[in-house]
């Protein structure tokens, strides 16, 4: 994901209400998030759906890696050579 352009990608919610279609098109075109402010403070972030899905997949992969690292640290890992032997043995069956 490309980070927001401060000059273009931070808008008050009132501007979003007035220019919804154009700002959604901007997010889709640029693939950058749009940060909406309310009372001068960040309120919500609007993301392109493809960027959102990619972020979700990346988060899921990172979670899986964290689980795997904890399993290895807990002694539940399998060496590369042992894994290779198991795979080759299963392929011969």
Strand segments, DSSP code E, in the chain are 10-12, 34-38, 41-46
How deeply is 60 buried, as exposed, middle or buried, from its count of CB atoms within 10 A (0-12, 13-18, 19+)?
exposed
pLDDT computed for residue 79 by the predictor: 85
State the pTM of this model.
Answer: 0.68
pLDDT computed for residue 78 by the predictor: 85
The count of structural domains within the chain is 1
Has residue 29 been placed in a domain?
A: yes
Separation of alpha carbons 86 and 92, rounded Å: 10
Contacts of residue 44, defined as CB under 8 A and 6 or more positions apart, other chains included, come to: 35, 36
Has residue 4 been placed in a domain?
A: no
CATH number (domain holding residue 36): 3.40.1620
Low-confidence ranges of the chain (pLDDT < 50): none
CB 52 within 8 A of CB 22: no
Has residue 70 been placed in a domain?
A: no
pLDDT computed for residue 1 by the predictor: 64
């Amino acid at each position: 994901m490309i980070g927001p352009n401060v000059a273009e990608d931070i808008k008050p919610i009132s501007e979003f209400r007035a220019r919804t279609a154009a700002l959604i098109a901007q997010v889709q075109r640029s693939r950058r998030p749009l940060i909406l402010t309310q009372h001068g403070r960040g309120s919500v972030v609007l993301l392109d759906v493809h960027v959102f899905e990619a972020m979700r997949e990346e988060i899921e992969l990172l979670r899986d890696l964290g689980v795997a690292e904890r399993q290895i640290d807990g002694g539940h890992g399998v060496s590369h050579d042992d894994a290779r032997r198991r795979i080759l043995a299963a392929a011969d069956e």
